[in-house]
Structure 1
Amino acid sequence: MKDNEQSVPWRRNVTLFLTGQTVSLFGSMVVQYAVMWWVTLETRSGLAVALYAVAAFLPQGLVSLFGGVLADRMNRRVLVMIADACIAAATLVLAMLMANGVTDLWIVLLAVAVRSVGAGVQTPAVQAIIPQIVPAEQLMRVNGIFQTISSAMALLAPAAAGAIYAAVGIVPVFFLDVVTAVAGIGLLALVAVPTLERAAGAGASSYRQDLVEGMRYIRANTVVRWLLIVYTIIFLLTVAPSFVTPLMVARTFGSEEWMLAVLEIAFSLGMLLGGVLMSTWLANRGRVGLILVAVYGFGAVTVGLGLSTNLWVFYGFMFVLGLLVPPFSTPFMTLIQETVEATMHGRVFSYVSIVMALATPVGMVVFGPLADVVSVEALLIAAGLATVVVMAISTRLPSGRAAVAASRAPAPEPSAAETSS
């Protein structure tokens, strides 16, 4: 079956998919913020925050190797539903334990790690579904809409997490996640996602052969290879240091819950505005050009965070940091979806997930313990400057020059048939 052959109109299919994923994502985000704050406020330790980052991302990176292969070997909708159900089950167990007074840090981190395993299976499949159900001409716009909705949820999630956490503690947050996961699974069950012809006959090759084939594909594709290099730079030098910004707030400005909530809200407001821009004004701009502007902006803003001596100026820089996320992530995902053939999407996105999941804990293994030795401000300044320097070098690599050259091709315009459907 071809990728976009569906028994229902694609707009209805996409609406159901985005709605279900948004509901599920909201619950997961609420848990993410609440647990991160709980670890930060309970321990005040950079090492503990680093351990949280490792638990949250390392298992996802390891499992993504197999998650991407699974996404190319079976129906992706079914795979996402199974993964979401397992994540919800782990969350429910943690809720029951903490409700009965079991609050050891290692137990919380173990549950976070189990959730990360589920994300390692779910994330490549979700990204691979989008080009299956969205016409090629609409990919950038739909990705921008998804980013906007996700940003709106990211805006609501810290507010909800802060309100629930401050009022009744962390346990009710976990129950909320279970409810949203069930709702998300129910909506996803209504989405028509075809099983690829290759997936139907996947038994002919081994998992190892599929993994090797995916790596060879990435090495042979200059643009994809360069994109993964850029992705690694960002997660090592921008995302990883961002995990210690709540620690900077707690140490420098105060440890009240509202301060951490406003920090996330400022970031999410920026993401929301950036998502709106990506789904409208920036939808047909050059993909690589947007990525370059965003990455250099990340470096400059990270330096600004480190130089901030006023809490509200700090929030302002977090807003700008969030504003730059959609102009980076949306064209990045769109380029992958446009460049990679459908039967390879799962495996390529698994390597994207691996970079995301491994680069963050690797970075935090460095930044977390260092935050107990030197100031968070100094770490942010160093990370921002390093981002600019390393990115400048990457654009001069042969793969970087090829990616920039490829970006000069005009973006695809929606056809009359698609815009009227």
Structure 2
Amino acid sequence: MATGSTDESGHEHRSTPDMTDDPTNDMPGWKRNVALFLTGQTISLLGSMLVQFAVMWHLTIETGSGAVLMLSIVFGMLPQAFVSIFGGVWADRHDRRLLIIGADTAIATITLALALLMASGIDDLWLIYVALAVRSTFAGIQTPAVSAMIPQIVPADQLLRINGINQSIQSAMMLLAPAVAAGVYASYDIVAVFFVDVVTALVGVGLLLLVTVPRLVRQDADGAVSYFGDLAAGVRYVAAHGPVRWLMVLFAVSMVLVGAPSYLTPLMVVRTFGDEVWKLTANEIFWAAGMLAGGIVMAALGPRVRNKVALIVGSVLAAGAFTALLGLATNLWVFYGIGFVISVAFAFMSAPSMTILQESVEPQMLGRVFGFVGIVMTVAMPLSMVVFGPLADRFAIEPLLVVAGLLLVAFVVTVLAIPTARRSLAAVERRPVPEAVPDPAA
């Protein structure tokens, strides 16, 4: 039976038929599919993170140039932000599993080509820039498809748990990848890291081929709507849906203001507590461990969380308050502990936010919505550094952290004071969960 929902403007949006005749919307074999999917994505993610760290270290060692590192960030991030706009449309028009497979394969191909060229002695900087840009471009296609496909293979009541597990895996990779990358890079060279990435990408593709994904049927199955028509529809959807719009605004501002401490804490450690390597390493470990712990808690308690919006709002307020306290810390271990708490709070915000979007957005719009989320996630952190980076060269880090934290708290309080925002966020918990359409041939 088809279900429908009404947004704050009164427009009705119809979702697609039930997944099965079972009213609980159980998905036969979903645990196998999720296990294969997460295993493949974890292996592929490890390879990608190895390349990320190895390229950064290689450019630093070989050139010692800040401008070179800046260009590597530009080529490695901006294409993804731009392509995500269209990647979301493609994720809603085409088979999301095939999009992920195609993007992973393309990334592996360009990485293999770069590895072969560098192994033959051709190591011009522009080759690395081109490879980073191509990898970023296909990441802009892959990322919205991954986020939009998860609700197709995960039962609605397990979404928060699976998002928590996925977040824990990503956080664990943040702890593991630097050590593995350092071992491979130090023992061999950057070419070996590229070859490892190719192998991990192919393993991820192979496992994804084994995942059964229900077919998503578009209401305009005849394809009469153009790509740009789909894109415009996605913009109108986000603009017209109060819950989606306010969640994205809250997420964007939080990313910008939480990005400040995540980027500036190493600088504060050096300036305030000393430049010993172990102190910088411990700082990174505490932040990553906080994300990991938060993800584990979400994975364990996911189905028991009854009010995800309250959890998100409380987590953002906590992140703002503790960011301000971070700037007041005078003891190194207190500083580490506060960083850990901020990371946990951010994990408590991130996983429920993704879950709410996956639950409340119609399946045929998910790709476009996550395309816009991808833009937010790709642009917000660099934007934070554009603002706070130059300020950190003129002022002490401590007052910047206090200001960032207080601004975040003030922003949340302001949002909650707006009646339409309160009603939109409260409506999230009352919206029916859209469902996907099974493939009769599956």
TM-score by length of 2: 0.81
**Letter aligned with residue 60 of structure 1:** Q
1:331-369 Cα shifts (integer Å, max 9, x gaps): 101110111111111111111111112222322222334
Structure 1 pair 248/85, CA: closer, same or farther in 2 (3 Å)? farther
Matches within 5 A, 1:228-267: 228-239=248-259, 241-249=261-269, 253-254=274-275, 256=277, 260-267=280-287
Match for residue 301 of structure 1?
Answer: 322
In 2, the alpha carbon distance for the partners of 1:51 and 1:255 equals: 28
Runs of 5+ consecutive residues of structure 1 not aligned to the other structure: 413-421
User: What is the correspondence of 1:189-204 to structure 2 with a 5 Å cutoff?
Assistant: 189-198=209-218, 201=221, 203-204=223-224
Deviation per CA, 1:145-165: give whole Å up to 9, x if none.
222333333332233234444
Instruction: Identify the match of residue 206 of structure 1 among 220, 226, 231.
Output: 226
Q: How does 1:207-356 map to 2 (within 5 A)?
A: 207-239=227-259, 241-249=261-269, 253-254=274-275, 256=277, 260-285=280-305, 286-308=307-329, 311-356=332-377
Deviates more, 1:168-177 or 1:289-298: 168-177
**Structure 2 residue 191 is matched with structure 1 residue 175:** no
| Identity percentage of aligned residues | 52
Q: Offset at 1:282?
A: 5.0
Q: Which moved more, 1:146-155 or 1:76-85?
A: 146-155
Please report the RMSD computed on the Cα atoms of aligned residues, expressed in angstroms.
3.3
Give the Cα–Cα distance (whole angstroms) in 2 for the partners of residues 148 and 9 of structure 1. Answer: 23
Identify the range of structure 1 (157-166 vs 277-286) with the bigger mean alpha-carbon deviation. Answer: 157-166
Q: Alpha-carbon deviations, 1:371-395, whole Å to 9, x = none?
A: 4444444433332222222222222
Contact 1:34 1:170 in 2 (8 A): yes
Name the SS for the 1:63 alignment partner: helix
Contact kept, 8 Å, 2:27 with 2:154, in 1: the verdict is: no
- Structure-2 change in CA distance of 1:29 and 1:398 (3 Å): farther
How far residue 409 of structure 1 moved from its aligned partner, in angstroms, is 4.9
Question: Partners in 2 of 1:398 and 1:33 — Cα distance?
Answer: 45
TM-score (norm 1): 0.85
What is the aligned partner in structure 2 of residue 113 from structure 1? 133
| 1:259-318 CA-partner distances (Å, limit 9, x unpaired) | 554433322221221112112235432111111122122223333444445554443333
Change (3 A) 1:267 1:224: same
**How many positions carry a matched residue from both structures?**
411
Matched, 1:386 2:413: no
Q: Take 1:322 and 1:45, find their aligned partners in 2: how far apart are those partners? A: 31
* 1:214 positional shift: 0.7
1:127 is the counterpart of 2:147: yes
Further displaced range: 51-60 or 78-87: 51-60
Question: Residues 308, 88 of structure 1: CA spacing in aligned structure 2 closer, same or farther, 3 A cutoff?
Answer: farther
| Larger of the two Rg values belongs to structure | 2
